[in-house]
Chains A and B, each alone.
Chain A
Amino acid sequence: MKPNTREIAIAGVMSAVSVLLAVTQLGFIPFVAGVSITVMHVPVVIGAIVAGPGAGTLIGAIFGVSSMILASVAPKGPGDVFFTDPWVSVVPRLFIGLTAWGAYRLAQAAGRVWSLTVSGLAMIAVVLGVAHTVGTAEFTLAPALGVATAFLGLALVGFILYRAARAHPEGLALSMAAVSGTLINTLLVLSALVARGYLPAAVAQTVGVTNGPPEMVAAALITVAVVATWRQVALRPGGASI
């Protein structure tokens, strides 16, 4: 269980990158209508892939604590009100590293066909789940709009997974790690918000459905690009196209 020197160094530096992304505008990618997608959890995913689940959990913990401190000392939006609560900002982030690493290993072991199949099934399950809850909630988008959003978002995620699988020998495993890590982050943070009584479940679900898939896409793109560059694997046969 004792981390070796390399794991310590990577955990420390990746946590620093996470804090840096939070503090500069680099961690926020504008989405639609003024809402931004955050990628501050990507260092956790990359740290877990490169240095193991322990390092990933540690980076997640530091990411959580730093988001709590930044929310208190330099709040940027209404969401920061909730992130002062460690149950929302710290505890959910402890699981990103383990999930990402686990997904990475599983996807590597299972191979491309199995991984794509499992992802496809999972996405169908999510769309069905959204369709079910949307029909039974009070304050919500029109049900059709909710399901359509979930479907489109997950279709985009599926497309990115497919492209990653074709681009890089490990592309699918890396993007699955990123998608799982992001999914756990979104899921647990929103669950914490609902469990603590800060957001009604319908609002949390809407946020999850609209923000989740783009964050997964962004995380997957960044993770594949970074790890491929780090391991100096050619993403395109024949090198760059410039």
Chain B
Amino acid sequence: MIDYLTTGQVLPTGSPIHRLDPRTRLLGFVGLLLVLTSAGRPLPAALALGVTLALLALARVPLRYALRSLWLLAPWLALVLLLQLAFGVGDAPGCRPLLTWGPFRLTPCTLRAAGVAALRFAGLVLLVGLFTWTSPIPGLARGIEAMASPLARLGLPAHELALVGVITVRFVPTMALELERLQKAQRARGGAAYQGRAGFVGRVRRTLPLIVPIFVIALQRAERLAEAMEARAYSGGAGRGRYTRLRFRRADGLALGLLALFIILVFLI
């Protein structure tokens, strides 16, 4: 798990999707996300799932790799769908039951709801995967900042928001290493055994020797980071220039146009 976070999960296949402007990818992600989460009927959900699969192919992500995360989720998804069918989620008074067994009834409405749910979750998993495999973090931060900067006039601190995201990603491996060091240090000092009150409160108390120091270390590091930034005359995003420049190209225009068309299409169906 830690390797997953430290090595980064971008698949550098150099596909057309990778070459798009990060803003386009972000907008595409958000657009498809909205379609998937708001699709209440099978057809839009299936279309969105189809589009996601097509994009995965375009991004040259190996199908086996892409489906792996879906495979991991499959048992849970099956369980959830079973429970949904059992509890009659999506049932409407007008639906005639196909099957009844005691208080449980299977109707076309619940089947449709379960189908939509299955399509939606599959689509979401693949979409998030697609996004993480094609978006390197620096580009992403830049994209978020660029898109949010018009809102900076309304008081939204776009640059600072993007910076917080970058700091988060940067510090996860660092904190993981600190946690490991902490565990080893405690073990070396014989700190593995911990008596305390029994029961739930006792169990929480026993996690404190690891959790409290990691929080305190995190806060200390944050203070040091702030000092370091200020020592280098960091004063926020106002008037800050950038080395890289984001430019919209023809591919971006095409992608955004197709995205808009797709959203309109889904709306109309």
Interface residues of A (CB under 8 A from B): 1-3, 5-6, 8-17, 19-20, 23-24, 26, 29-32, 39, 43, 46, 50, 58, 62, 68-69, 72-75, 77-78, 80-82, 84-87, 138-139, 156, 160, 197-200, 203, 214, 217-218, 221-222, 225-226, 229-230
Residues of A within 8 Å of B164, CB to CB, are 8, 11-12, 15, 58, 62
Across-interface contacts of A73 in B (CB, < 8 A): 4, 9, 69, 125, 128-129, 132
Q: CB < 8 Å: which of B4, B73, B87, B124 contacts A203?
A: B87
Q: Which A residues are CB-close (under 8 A) to B128? A: 68-69, 72-73, 84
Query: Considering the complex of A and B, which 3 residue pairs feature the smallest CB-CB distances, nearest first?
Result: A12-B167, A16-B171, A72-B128
Q: Bound state CA distance, A198 and B88, in angstroms?
A: 11
When distances are taken between beta carbons in the complex, the residues of chain B under 8 Å from A197 are 89-90, 113
Question: What are 23 pairs between A and B in contact, CB < 8 Å?
Answer: A12-B170, A13-B175, A13-B218, A13-B219, A14-B222, A15-B164, A15-B168, A19-B172, A20-B172, A20-B175, A20-B176, A23-B176, A24-B179, A31-B200, A69-B128, A72-B69, A74-B72, A75-B76, A81-B80, A84-B125, A200-B88, A214-B200, A217-B204
- How far is B205's CA from A222's CA once the two chains are assembled, in angstroms? 8
What separation, in Å, do the CA atoms of A200 and B103 have in the docked complex?
Answer: 14
Q: Are B2 and A23 in contact (CB under 8 A)?
A: yes
Q: Cβ of B161 and Cβ of A222 under 8 Å apart? A: no
Residue ranges of B at the interface with A (Cβ–Cβ < 8 Å) = 1-2, 4-5, 9, 33, 37, 69, 72-73, 76-77, 79-80, 83-84, 87-90, 103, 113, 117, 120-121, 124-125, 127-129, 132, 155-157, 160-161, 163-172, 174-176, 179, 200-201, 203-205, 207-208, 210-212, 214-216, 218-219, 221-223, 225-226, 229-230, 234, 236
A218 to B201, CA, bound (A): 8
Query: Are B211 and A26 within 8 A (Cβ)?
Result: yes
Residues in B neighbouring A217, C-beta threshold 8 A: 200-201, 204
Q: Taking the nearest CB of chain B, how far is it from the CB of A22, in angstroms?
A: 10
Cβ contacts under 8 Å, A50 to chain B: 219
Minimal Cβ-Cβ distance residue in B for A1: B155
Chain B residue nearest in CB terms to A51 = B222
| A residues less than 8 Å from B205 (CB atoms) | 221
Q: For chain A, what secondary structure do more than half of its interface residues adopt (helix, strand, loop), or is it mixed?
A: helix
**Assembled-state Cα–Cα distance A8/B164 (Å):** 6
Contact at A78–B1, with CB atoms within 8 Å? no
- CB distance A6 to B222 under 8 Å? yes
Indicate if the CB atoms of A82 and B124 lie closer than 8 Å.
no
A15–B236 CA distance with the chains assembled, in angstroms:
20
Q: Which one of B80, B160, B216 has the highest number of Cβ atoms from chain A below 10 Å of its Cβ?
A: B160
Q: Which of A12, A39, A156 has the most CB of B within 10 A?
A: A12
Question: Complex formed: what's the CA distance from A17 to B157 in Å?
Answer: 23
Tell me if B's interface is mostly helix, strand, loop or mixed. helix
Instruction: Determine if B124 and A84 form an interchain contact, defined as CB atoms under 8 angstroms apart.
Output: yes
Check if A29 sits within 8 Å of B207, measured CB to CB. yes
Q: Which of A11, A13, A84 sits near B121, CB closer than 8 Å?
A: A84
Contact, CB under 8 Å: B37 / A85: yes
Residue contact B157 to A16, C-beta cutoff 8 Å: no
Contacts of B225 in A (CB 8 A): 9, 12-13
B125, B170, B208: the one within 8 Å of A222 (CB):
B208
- Greatest chain B CB density within 10 A among A13, A17, A73, A218 is at A13
| B195 nearest CB across to chain A (Å) | 12
**Complex formed: what's the CA distance from A84 to B80 in Å?**
13
B129 touches A72 (CB 8 A): yes
Give Cα A197–Cα B41 distance, bound, in whole angstroms: 13
Docked CA distance A9–B222 (Å): 5
Tell me the bound Cα distance from A15 to B161 in angstroms: 12
Asked if residues A16 and B168 are in contact (CB atoms below 8 Å), the reply is: yes
- Residues from chain A with Cβ under 8 Å of B161 in the complex: 58
B157 lies within 8 A of A139 (CB): no
Contacts of B215 in A (CB 8 A): 17, 43, 46, 222, 226, 230
Pairwise interchain contact A8-B226, C-beta atoms closer than 8 A: yes
Provided the pairs A1-B155, A1-B157, A10-B222 are in contact, do residues A30 and B203 lie with their beta carbons within 8 angstroms?
yes
